[in-house]
Amino acid sequence: MTGHRPEWPADPVTRWSRRILGFASLLVPIGLRREWRLEWEAELWQLRRPEGNRVRLGLFLVGAFVHGLWEWKEEWRMESFVQDLRYAARALVRSPGFALAALTILTLSIGANTALFSVVREALLTPPPYDDPGTLVVVDVTYGMEDEPQAPAPWSYPRYRAAADELASVRDIAGYAARTMTLTDAGNPAVVRVEAVTPTLFPLLGVGAWAGRTFGDEERDRGAPVLRTLLGHAIWQERFGGDPGVVGTVVTLDRLRFEVVGVLEPGFAGVTGDVDLWIPCSALREVENESFLDNPWNSYLNVIGRLAPEATVESARAEMQAFAAVSWERFPPPVAASRLTPGGDVVPFVSARINPGARASMLVLFGAVALVLLVATANLSGLLLARGASRQREAAVRASLGAGRTRLLRQLLTEGLLLAGLGGALGVALSGIAIDTLGTWLTEAVGTGGGRELQFLDPARIAIDWTVVLFAIAVTAGVGVVFGILPAWQAARVDPASTLRGVRAPAPGFLRARPLSARSGLIVLQVAVALVLLSGASLMMQSLALMQEVELGYDPGGLVTAVYGLTPMDVQAGVDPSTFHLDYLGRVRALPGVAGATLAEVPLGGPTWRTIVLGSEGRPELTPADHLWIRMQPIPEGHFAVMGTGLLEGRGIESTDDRDSEKVIVLSRTAADELFPDGGAVGRRIQLSTPGWGSGVTVVGIAEDQQMAPPGELSGPQGYISIRQAARLETGVLVRVDREATEVTDRLRATLAELNPNIALTSVMSMRDRALTVTARRRIVSALMMVFAAVSLLLVAVGLYGTIAFAVARRTRELGLRASLGADRTSLAGLVLRQGLGLTAVGIGIGLVGASWATRFLEGLLFGTDGIDAHTLVGVCAVLMAVALAAAWLPARRAMRVDPMTALRTE
């Protein structure tokens, strides 16, 4: 074909035209390029002869480019891509076991990644759905105890007013405070979540009314209570039938009549989340007491605002600090708080609402699931490599038939992408189906509450949308390319001639053989990542186990707990809390199925009341530095027996400790040790800051400490006083039952309704469930970590087995030779085992470094362990080694059984 070469004239037009053709020919797929160029050059020759027409030449050259581009597109689309895809699909169908395994692994890991990403995105990446969230700030008053760091505290209304009038760098300041109230209409009282807000909140956030109006200047506090309310869209739908006529009517909250002025837009459930109704702050003058808004030390509001256009967070913070100092002068603190130093802070709303514990859990889970995906990808890459090796003959056939190296490479890449694409699509579908359940579950696990009572994560807003799908596509493409490229690279090095002749690469050293070194690298990677996951999971499990062992100081078995509260209105109506509580207790104790009952703070989340011990006998004037906060619980007689809490000294509270007798207190062991380090507390007197208790109470007993706070937090010193001598409006009910708990809780409710139908029994839960709820985050994170670790371990085992079995198969000849030269069988098995364990050891070495770095992210979730320790590490390494040994054992046995004769004959 190349017999002659035409003599091209040397004029510049021809030269350039040929050059341009050569350039255009680069677009043409390599297989067609030569012919394409020959044809176009022949045409150019033809065109050249009628000299001169430049326009025609130009069109001709453009035509060459158009044609080249078309060929390129055609090649990619028709000739190769569809064909590659079809070929890849056929290859997968031909090995359904492999395809199924690969797809399952991919679907699950991409699905899990996608679902977690959608949660992480909603919680950490999406700004809250308010007007210009970037300039919203949380404004804090802070207090510090002398040298201790400043901590944010709630605001009082007078302080809020002053800040709203005086701060220049933060505008539209609004306050909110969440509470629960009892909504009574149609006869069934419901406990609802209510936000008491300043009217400025709605314009600040850009939340409008769906019907009626939001709060305005009319609801601003002017010294008299304003009993108006706004309904949330959801409760309006559920409880008021979505009737717009509800605006202007009256609803009853805590037995007070509130006029409904509007219904808020759907989707807004308050800045604290899950809010049903809103009331103006000034309503608190009626709900609580007349002067509730006037006391500058009655602190309950959280404050947010909008940064003024010229202000920065730093300048606002500086102004707030100055304001705090001034306001300290203006509103001098009560004596008890004199050790406090005032401060102020301004924090962007977006970061203030983040709950660090929940964020840590989320990121840990997200990281873990990404690691699982990494292991899965490495594993599949290894599988494809093995397939690639067993398909070398096929690759060689295709290469010898003229398939270019790039074509082969693309073929294998297509297989990777096809698998990843299918897995990704199924994964997104899976996460789409599971997202509601998973979202609820995960939000329960990580919690939705953030700083300053702000809602951190709204489960209703977790969804699979286009950003999530984009994320899934990116992950999928990454996975596809990564695990397609290694096998492709390996296969592209195939030498068709020697492969077809049946010549195998000379029996290679185990780690040096080309395809093997890639697979070995993958195994090392998998082992290392599995080690990181395993260490994380075992640390979490260890924490959980340690939590179970925490000394509770009471017996949680068969204990049903609940909470209820009277309202100030009840007291005004003449109800005496002590009498009411004792009346209820008496009825509960008489119920069938009740072995004992008491009233007290419910451990792990009941109402908390703290008071300050101002002095104790022997040390009558404690300096402020010695002031001791104690957790106070008004209790009835028999409390310690019902709770199963041991009395260490003296006696408990008796029914004779009533209003007419001497005021008494039982101290917890910690409280007694703090106040009377030398012992002998019983019989001594202490002074409390509670009004009316300053003259002193007598210590009559010392009880075992109870774990009231969630595990991991200190419960601090505690004091028990007689409910006959002082009662709070709210109390917990703790009932020891000897039968079905549900049966008893129904009776508990009914009994309360007999006494007062307007009071709801809330937070009804067995003590065990309460403990589970408190540890839910840790338990779910641990459980998921365990699953991830187990999956990665399984993948490691499969991957290791595959790699070593493959190596043994390749080395049959070498092993046979060794056997025939007299190597004994155990040494052959040892050879194989050593190599498997060697890979694992390398992986463990790398994994240890990774684990010591990665487990620091777990620190916030751990309890009783500070991070990775030697025991955990040794255990984890042992598990990995055992798995490696098991995975290598089968191939090793095969190596042991190699028959020298057969092995040598096969080649």
Task: Using CA atoms of 21, 23, 25, 27 in order, give the dihedral in degrees to the nearest 10.
Answer: -140
Min dist. Cβ of residue 45 to other proteins (A): 5
**Part in contact with other proteins (CB under 8 A); list of ranges 59-67, 362-370, 471-479, 534-542:** 59-67
Min dist. Cβ of residue 17 to other proteins (A): 13
Min dist. Cβ of residue 3 to other proteins (A): 6
Q: Which residue in 304, 354, 347, 352 sits closest to 122, CA to CA?
A: 354
Which CB, 47 or 354, lies closer to other proteins?
47
Q: What is the SS3 string spanning 234-268?
A: HHHHHHHCCCHHHCCCEEEECCEEEEEEEEECCCC
Residue pair 336/612 in contact by the 8 Å Cβ criterion: yes
Which CB, 63 or 860, lies closer to other proteins?
63
**Part in contact with other proteins (CB under 8 A); list of ranges 63-71, 385-393, 698-706, 729-737:** 63-71
C-alpha angle 347/350/352, rounded to 5°? Answer: 45
Assess 46 for contact with other proteins (CB under 8 A).
yes
Report DSSP state, residue 491: H
| Chain position carrying tokens 């090392």 | 524
Min dist. Cβ of residue 6 to other proteins (A): 5
Which CB, 27 or 800, lies closer to other proteins?
27
Residue pair 560/766 in contact by the 8 Å Cβ criterion: yes
Which CB, 49 or 94, lies closer to other proteins?
49
Assess 219 for contact with other proteins (CB under 8 A).
no
Which CB, 4 or 54, lies closer to other proteins?
4
**Part in contact with other proteins (CB under 8 A); list of ranges 69-77, 304-312, 363-371, 734-742:** 69-77
Min dist. Cβ of residue 37 to other proteins (A): 10
Residue pair 284/138 in contact by the 8 Å Cβ criterion: no
- Total number of residues shown for the chain: 907
Which CB, 60 or 554, lies closer to other proteins?
60
Who's near 156: CB < 8 A, 6+ residues apart?
295, 296, 297, 298, 299, 300, 301, 331
Q: Which residues is 765 bridged to in the sheet? A: 561
CA separation for the pair 112, 91 (Å, rounded)? 27
Rule CB under 8 A: which of 488-527 touch other proteins?
none
Min dist. Cβ of residue 33 to other proteins (A): 14
Min dist. Cβ of residue 75 to other proteins (A): 11
Assess 869 for contact with other proteins (CB under 8 A).
no
Q: Which residue in 271, 273, 264 sits closest to 459, CA to CA?
A: 273
**Part in contact with other proteins (CB under 8 A); list of ranges 33-41, 271-279, 707-715, 862-870:** 33-41
Which CB, 45 or 331, lies closer to other proteins?
45
CA separation for the pair 560, 734 (Å, rounded)? 6
Min dist. Cβ of residue 82 to other proteins (A): 13
Which CB, 75 or 286, lies closer to other proteins?
75
CA separation for the pair 62, 43 (Å, rounded)? 13
The two tokens of residue 68 are: 């080249």
Q: Which residue in 810, 843, 808 sits closest to 828, CA to CA?
A: 808
Residue pair 575/566 in contact by the 8 Å Cβ criterion: yes
Which CB, 402 or 502, lies closer to other proteins?
402
- Give the residue, chosen from 9, 22, 63, 334, that forms a contact with other proteins under the rule CB under 8 A: 63
- Give the residue, chosen from 33, 47, 333, 780, that forms a contact with other proteins under the rule CB under 8 A: 47
Which CB, 1 or 93, lies closer to other proteins?
1
Residue pair 479/110 in contact by the 8 Å Cβ criterion: yes
Amino acid residing at 117? F
Rule CB under 8 A: which of 73-112 touch other proteins?
74
Who's near 678: CB < 8 A, 6+ residues apart?
none
- Give the residue, chosen from 13, 62, 168, 874, that forms a contact with other proteins under the rule CB under 8 A: 62
Assess 609 for contact with other proteins (CB under 8 A).
no
CA separation for the pair 118, 442 (Å, rounded)? 11
Residue pair 285/293 in contact by the 8 Å Cβ criterion: yes
Which CB, 44 or 765, lies closer to other proteins?
44
CA separation for the pair 774, 768 (Å, rounded)? 10
- Give the residue, chosen from 17, 25, 27, 60, that forms a contact with other proteins under the rule CB under 8 A: 60
- Give the residue, chosen from 70, 81, 629, 853, that forms a contact with other proteins under the rule CB under 8 A: 70
Strands (E), 448-558: none
- Give the residue, chosen from 20, 21, 27, 64, that forms a contact with other proteins under the rule CB under 8 A: 64
Min dist. Cβ of residue 233 to other proteins (A): 54
**Part in contact with other proteins (CB under 8 A); list of ranges 67-75, 366-374, 710-718, 768-776:** 67-75
Residue pair 253/196 in contact by the 8 Å Cβ criterion: no
Instruction: Please state the separation of Cα 393 from the chain's center in Å.
Output: 49
Site track 2-31 with other proteins (rule: CB under 8 A), x = hit? -xx-xx------------------------
Who's near 852: CB < 8 A, 6+ residues apart?
868
Rule CB under 8 A: which of 793-812 touch other proteins?
none
| Sign of the Cα pseudo-torsion (863, 866, 869, 873, in order) | positive
- Give the residue, chosen from 14, 31, 67, 622, that forms a contact with other proteins under the rule CB under 8 A: 67
- Give the residue, chosen from 30, 42, 755, 772, that forms a contact with other proteins under the rule CB under 8 A: 42
Which CB, 35 or 859, lies closer to other proteins?
35
Assess 71 for contact with other proteins (CB under 8 A).
yes
Count, residues near other proteins per rule CB under 8 A: 25
Min dist. Cβ of residue 40 to other proteins (A): 8
Which CB, 78 or 849, lies closer to other proteins?
78
Residue pair 271/235 in contact by the 8 Å Cβ criterion: no
Who's near 705: CB < 8 A, 6+ residues apart?
551, 553, 668, 669, 670, 715, 718
Residue pair 725/663 in contact by the 8 Å Cβ criterion: yes
Which CB, 71 or 254, lies closer to other proteins?
71
Min dist. Cβ of residue 67 to other proteins (A): 4
**Part in contact with other proteins (CB under 8 A); list of ranges 36-44, 408-416, 634-642, 701-709:** 36-44
Assess 730 for contact with other proteins (CB under 8 A).
no
The continuous run of DSSP H or E covering 152 comes out as strand 151-153
Min dist. Cβ of residue 409 to other proteins (A): 25
Which CB, 47 or 550, lies closer to other proteins?
47
| Sign of the Cα pseudo-torsion (133, 134, 136, 142, in order) | positive
Residue pair 451/352 in contact by the 8 Å Cβ criterion: yes
Q: C-alpha distances in angstroms, 103 versus 99, 194, 351, 617?
A: 6, 49, 39, 74
Assess 746 for contact with other proteins (CB under 8 A).
no
Which CB, 36 or 240, lies closer to other proteins?
36
- Give the residue, chosen from 11, 39, 131, 713, that forms a contact with other proteins under the rule CB under 8 A: 39
CA separation for the pair 342, 361 (Å, rounded)? 33
Which CB, 45 or 98, lies closer to other proteins?
45
Min dist. Cβ of residue 32 to other proteins (A): 9
Which CB, 47 or 124, lies closer to other proteins?
47
Who's near 606: CB < 8 A, 6+ residues apart?
561, 563, 600, 732, 763
CA separation for the pair 122, 456 (Å, rounded)? 9
Rule CB under 8 A: which of 151-170 touch other proteins?
none
**Residues at the site binding other proteins, with contacts judged by CB under 8 A:** 1, 3-4, 6-7, 35, 38-39, 41-43, 45-47, 59-60, 62-67, 70-71, 74
